[in-house]
Structure 1
């Protein structure tokens, strides 16, 4: 019988929803992700703009991307800094593997649900994805428009 072996360096072409504790009882709202705000990631020696599911999302309140969303990012001056809790929109459910290299993208953002804190991300001051900090999680829990529980 034929079989299929996956190589040890397999790259997942589509995102997963490991940040969700359950695929039941969550609510999603759509937003426009600003192409300029998507972090650059090295993929096999090539720089790509990749948006991971599980990324904390906040809205830009100034600049060229005003009204569009991007990641919660340390040191950001357009309304997406960890201290700007009123601009938090939730946790991204959408994985964008390369499309953000060329244009803005519509993404789904979970605003009500139960998430694994260790599987959620934010962006640090150098533009790298890092595990969501307890401070940002607390900010999301304290926002009246979000109903997120982190375990």
Structure 2
């Protein structure tokens, strides 16, 4: 019988030692749920931009086209040619509508690049930002234009 008691004591000691080496089970308490990080703020289009790329291709020789977003209006001027739109932006979703009487031509027709940019703006539905908000790509079924902050 003493042999039996010895074996029981050894099993008891082994079981206690085993529990001490195991890590504690994870708690399911409500207060320990991970907190979601707040989403970074979407940059706004407000301000002056320079036309940098059309459909991913840099505008040849740099661009003189300047896009100015202000108070729900967009004005794109390239020399004496220009167009105007109203616009809305909700985070990355954008929409543009041409402004009657906001076009100007000074005897010279807009270049092919300018016309492609105007068409892309007319059809843009999304604005994607890069370079910490210093670059914006307006994209839609009319193509893509990339603007750089001035």
Scaled to the shorter chain, the TM-score interval is under 0.3
Higher RCO (Cα < 8 Å, 6 or more apart): 1
Q: Which has the higher helix share?
A: 2
